[in-house]
A = this chain, B = another copy of it.
Amino acid sequence: MRQNLIPQLLTIALLVTIPAAAAAGPPDFPATTDEKFDPVAVGSYSGDHAAIYAHIDQNLDAHLSQLQRWLRQRSISAQNDGILEMAEMLRSDLESMGFAEAELVETSGHPGVWGYYDAGADKTLVIYLMYDVQPVDPEDWESPPFAAEVIDHPLGRVIMARAATNQKGPERAFFNALDSILAVEGTLPVNLMIAAEGEEEIGSPNYPEVIAKYEDRLRSADGVFFPFNSQDPKGDVSMFLGVKGILYFELEARGNETGGPKQAEIHGSLKAMVDAPVLRLIQAIASMTTVDGNTITIPGYYDPIRAPTHEEETLINTQLDDWAGQELLMKQAFAVDKFADDLTGRDLLMRYLYTTTLNVDGIWGGYTEEGTKTILPHMATAKMDSRLAPNQKPDEALALIRKHLEDNGFGDLEIRQLSGYPPAQTSVSAPLVQAAIRVYNKYGLTPDVTPRIGGSAPYYVFTDLGLPLIAGGIGHGSGAHAPNEYMVVEPKEGSAVAGLAEIEKFYVDLLYALAE
């Protein structure tokens, strides 16, 4: 999960204005219905698993220790720090719980972990897990990132650690729920396939190898679930049914046979006679957008994007009920005074959900220290990404970018693709989604359901197999990829945020609801 701010900001409903659609470029998909999706109408899960809930309550200290055990095991994928130890910890936990299969899966990078629990049930759920974590700057933390101490926090008692919320906290809470079900019932209500990776935080480069190995068996499953703290600090729940794809590449200009210094920087005064690779990079990037940077000018780039389905439109209409409030919240959260192209209302939401982007994540070249140094750099590089909306494909997007550069005299610039995968989409009518909404409703936490977030995750590996996928669960945490990451384990009196016991009970209910 690359980002989860948006789902937390996109909640409940009132369209304020509909400005004229942007002229050329991004697709304009006017509303074709005013129907709204009503999550309350989905119903409420009525199952009561009192014995399991009691087991969770009685063993809560031990369950918290299980979170600490996982969180204290380093597993920084970018630095290959503790990876094998964490993979083995996960595998051995599966084995201890009675999984018939529990094995490391060799890949070209860090290993995956596969597990299969045969409950002899009708339904089979795939659990997507990531066992790796982001790097840390320990000196920036209130409590050490791998100490996993439980400390006081304005929201209550929290466990503070790298991966507390992204993603070991909710993942191990899910395993605690399995432990309690197994302790009380002796088996699970559904069969489980565990498909874990240790490279999520570095872009999941080898996860497709894990999927490929078990593809046929995965196809037979009923859906994919990713344990996830879905509550915002106020307790509101959001649920997203899709993610955008991504194309991430480096674009680099160097001196070459067409001009510019080929070996090293030269004196800046020589610009009078010599081509400048930095300016060529700048001109190449500039050629890809309008002057405001907000519309992509690469021919055909927006063409593949499909219109929202009727079902998605009903979700969007519901989102718009409280959209004005969401705009205010987003302006605060992102520290922006106005949105691109002065968009507001449905146009803004549609731009977020149903267009692609071209973004410069970073750019560098030449002298970047203090003061003056006068050089003509021989190279310059930009990191760029494009978020892919349905039905864009990364290879096709890259081909359009390449053709555009060639057609505009920039064919000699090097494009190095670093990542690329398509978007993923799940229907709100999928039984897994309906089950989740019923369980949320049971807890009085009717979710805000959005057709997708603008962020990317490689969920296509599952949805392209025809499997519905959701990230879900109650509970709240924050600080992913940042210092002082935490997950609330014991909320403040009166808070709508769930504590660890309720988080685990939700997972219990979800498995039984899906089994129905």
Interface of A with B (CB < 8 Å)?
2-3, 5-6, 78, 202-203, 244, 246, 248, 255-264, 266-276, 278-280, 282-283, 285-287, 289, 291-294, 330, 334-340, 343, 348, 351-352, 355-368, 371-378, 380, 383, 385, 387, 408-409, 418-419, 453-456
Contact = CB atoms under 8 A, between A and B. Distances in A.
A285 B291 CA distance: 11
Contacts of A289: 279, 283
A170 to B, nearest CB: 20
Contacts of A362: 365-368, 373, 375, 377
Contacts of A330: 273
A374 B259 CA distance: 32
A348 B273 contact: yes
A291 B287 contact: yes
Given A203-B372, A366-B361, A383-B367, A335 B264 contact: yes
B409 A271 contact: no
15 contacts: A3-B374, A6-B269, A248-B372, A255-B336, A261-B334, A267-B454, A268-B361, A273-B330, A275-B294, A275-B336, A276-B359, A283-B286, A360-B377, A361-B377, A363-B368
Contacts of A270: 6, 334, 454
Which 3 interchain pairs have the tightest Cβ spacing?
Answer: A279-B293, A286-B286, A362-B366
Nearest to A349: B273
A285 B287 contact: no
A261 B362 CA distance: 15
A246 to B, nearest CB: 7
Contacts of A454: 267, 269-270, 272-273
A270 B393 CA distance: 20
A195 B366 CA distance: 34
Number of copies: 2
A363 B351 contact: no
A10 B66 CA distance: 75
Contacts of A268: 357, 359, 361, 385, 387
Contact of A337 (B6, B259, B334, B418): B259
Contacts of A287: 286, 291
Given A335-B263, A363-B363, A365-B362, A340 B5 contact: no
B376 A275 contact: no
Contacts of A248: 372, 374
A366 B381 CA distance: 12
Given A273-B348, A363-B363, 19 more contacts: A3-B267, A255-B336, A258-B338, A259-B337, A262-B336, A266-B335, A268-B359, A268-B361, A269-B456, A276-B293, A278-B363, A282-B286, A292-B409, A359-B376, A361-B367, A362-B367, A362-B377, A363-B380, A364-B365
A272 B282 CA distance: 21
Contacts of A359: 268, 271, 276, 279, 374, 376
A275 B291 CA distance: 11
A408 B292 CA distance: 10
Contacts of A260: 336
Nearest to A358: B271
Contact of A334 (B274, B276, B365): B274
Contacts of A3: 267, 269, 374
B360 A368 contact: no
Among A3, A269, A371, A387, the most chain B Cβ lie within 10 Å of the Cβ of: A269
Nearest to A355: B272
A463 B407 CA distance: 49
Nearest to A455: B269
Nearest to A375: B361
Nearest to A202: B371
B364 A368 contact: yes
Given A257-B337, A269-B244, A334-B270, A360 B282 contact: yes
Contacts of A352: 272-273
A275 B358 CA distance: 11
A255 B360 CA distance: 14
Contacts of A259: 336-340
